Structure 1
Amino acid sequence: MKELDGLRRELDRWEADGRAANFWWRDDDAEAPDAPVMRMLDLSARTGAPVFIAVVPARAVDALSEPMIDCPTAVPFQHGYAHRDHSPADVKGKWELGLHRGRDEILDELRTGWARMQELFGPRFQPMLGPPWNRIDAGLYPDLPEIGFEILSTFAPRPAPEPVPGLRQINGHCDIISWKRDRSFIGAEKTSNRLVEHLQARRAGLVEDEPTGLLTHVWINDEPAWHAIEAVIETVNAHPAGRWLDRAGLEACS
């Protein structure tokens, strides 16, 4: 795909520097083994690119368990609790994990969600939290390791590898959906450009050196979006400097 030429050139620069560019693929909002989820699992298994799937525990059906466990490249993790907005009318953006309501209520929900994830996925459940809408009050960070979370994943370059003791942060960086434009696909070239922007910033030491995160929401994919995801995966797979991280690889990141 010609639109990904910029990504190939940037990977060439990583190779010339003798460095490996690690990537990870995160998909949000899984609830059931519907057609998009099954297509994603097939794509992940076929290409060998692990997919970290943010599951909404309060909405997840029992039938989601088997296909996720059967897919060796699928890594389920927790997507908040119910993906429900609790923010007051005067607050910008949607928040499930904002301290606009009681801390105990939020933490009780996260613990209930944790138990549901363990029920569904057992040891395949990665102790990582992806807050709905990528928003969480920093005042909740110290409570997350006590529940069992080891990794927090939001969006944009992370400010620090470890926001509080016992909790690492590994974010997404390229969301392929334009949420302000009717949830439309941004296009393959812009997807490439956003990945390149983060890779360039990493290479120059302008941001924390964390894995470059491709963020998808396959439940709203159109065919061009599917084609672009596969093309990005294949481009990284084919390049000597490219590497998709699996669960062990992500957990090993500092």
Structure 2
Amino acid sequence: MIVSNTVSPLWLGLPQGHAQRIAQAVREGLDQAPGNTAQVYFRADDVAVPGNSFSRMLATFRAHDAPLCLAVVPAWLTVSRWAALTRDAGREDLFCWCQHGWRHMNFEPQGVKKREFGQARPARDKRQDLAKGFKRLKEIMGERFTPVFSPPWNRCDGESMAAMPSIGFKGLSRTVGAGPQPPEGLPDFPVLVDLHTRKEPDPAASLDALLAELVRGLATGSCGIMLHHQRMNETAHAFLDALLGALKAASGLRFVHFGHLL
């Protein structure tokens, strides 16, 4: 299991006044949204192993009574880890658990954007891994498994998506604008706001870009926000708390998770 814990420059030098700017961005986005209302969902990727940062992330969502979609890597999950994760989660109504790839392994050649489910693999192999992951999570999680697939690196090809409905998947979650189009009957719940895998070297520019994503997402009426708990430091946790507080305080905003959207 290989997961990056690199902290983005934004969380090493967050500019002052960010709480006020978050609230301003939320107001601006809702002012542009249809009917001045929007739904917001959060998706946390690379889940399977309990730990302090994971526990703190869940506690922050519980404190704000906000739901969270947890994208679990099936090959990393064990029965004992699942027991620890659910003890941490506590409230069943706030958290939904979906599938994040199979092993979170890149199969693309050097120089090509990373994919676990891309053109570098035969369709049969991709289908087998999709089905293995689905079966494993269903067996371990039971009725708490939400049949939505989130591909590692937010990328998967048409062959993989074509196989998903017959396996039992009811939805998909990638990034806004990702291609190709999913088959009919497989809705995509995309994320736009990236909290923790940002690459801007300048913290001020990074905060500007993050808040611009938040405004654009809210303006559409449906805003998906992506988290990576392994990349969160103290500053990132405090920012998440402020963000959830600003969203919860906003009139016309509704928190949802994938289970509500299916």
Normalising by structure 1, what TM-score?
Answer: 0.84
Amino acid corresponding to residue 250 of structure 2 in structure 1: H
1:164 aligns with 2:183: yes
Q: Given the superposition, is the C-alpha separation of residues 140 and 185 from structure 1 closer, same or farther in structure 2, using an over 3 Å criterion?
A: farther
Inter-partner Cα distance in structure 2 for 1:114 and 1:185: 41
Inter-partner Cα distance in structure 1 for 2:249 and 2:242: 10
Shift of 1:158: 6.0
Q: Tell me the residue number matched to 1:206.
A: none
Amino acid corresponding to residue 247 of structure 2 in structure 1: V
Amino acid corresponding to residue 126 of structure 1 in structure 2: T
Shift of 1:239: 1.0
CA contact (8 A) 1:6 1:196 kept: no
Q: Tell me the residue number matched to 2:112.
A: 92
Q: What is the 5 A alignment of 1:183-194?
A: 190-194=209-213
Q: What is the 5 A alignment of 1:220-235?
A: 220-235=231-246
Q: 1:101 aligns with which of 121, 134, 149?
A: 121
Structure 1 unpaired stretches of 5+:
203-208
Inter-partner Cα distance in structure 2 for 1:185 and 1:134: 26
Structure 2 unpaired stretches of 5+:
1-18
Q: Tell me the residue number matched to 1:173.
A: 192
Deviations along 1:41-75, one digit per CA (max 9) or x if unpaired, are 21222211111011000012323323336332111
- Identical-residue share of aligned pairs (%): 26
Q: CA RMSD in A?
A: 2.5
How many residues align? The count is 239
Q: Tell me the residue number matched to 2:228.
A: 217
Amino acid corresponding to residue 64 of structure 2 in structure 1: T
1:42 aligns with 2:59: yes
Shift of 1:181: 5.5
Shift of 1:166: 2.2
1:147 aligns with 2:167: yes
Inter-partner Cα distance in structure 2 for 1:27 and 1:214: 9
CA contact (8 A) 1:6 1:193 kept: no
Q: Given the superposition, is the C-alpha separation of residues 180 and 12 from structure 1 closer, same or farther in structure 2, using an over 3 Å criterion?
A: closer
Amino acid corresponding to residue 140 of structure 2 in structure 1: L
Q: Tell me the residue number matched to 1:80.
A: 101
1:56 aligns with 2:67: no
Q: Tell me the residue number matched to 1:13.
A: 31
Shift of 1:140: 2.2
Q: What is the 5 A alignment of 1:105-116?
A: 105-116=125-136
Q: Which has the higher contact order (CA 8 A, sep 6+)?
A: 2
Normalising by structure 2, what TM-score?
Answer: 0.82
Shift of 1:28: 0.3
CA contact (8 A) 1:22 1:245 kept: yes
Worse-matched range after superposition: 211-220 or 60-69: 60-69
Shift of 1:14: 5.2
Q: Given the superposition, is the C-alpha separation of residues 106 and 190 from structure 1 closer, same or farther in structure 2, using an over 3 Å criterion?
A: same
Inter-partner Cα distance in structure 1 for 2:198 and 2:211: 18
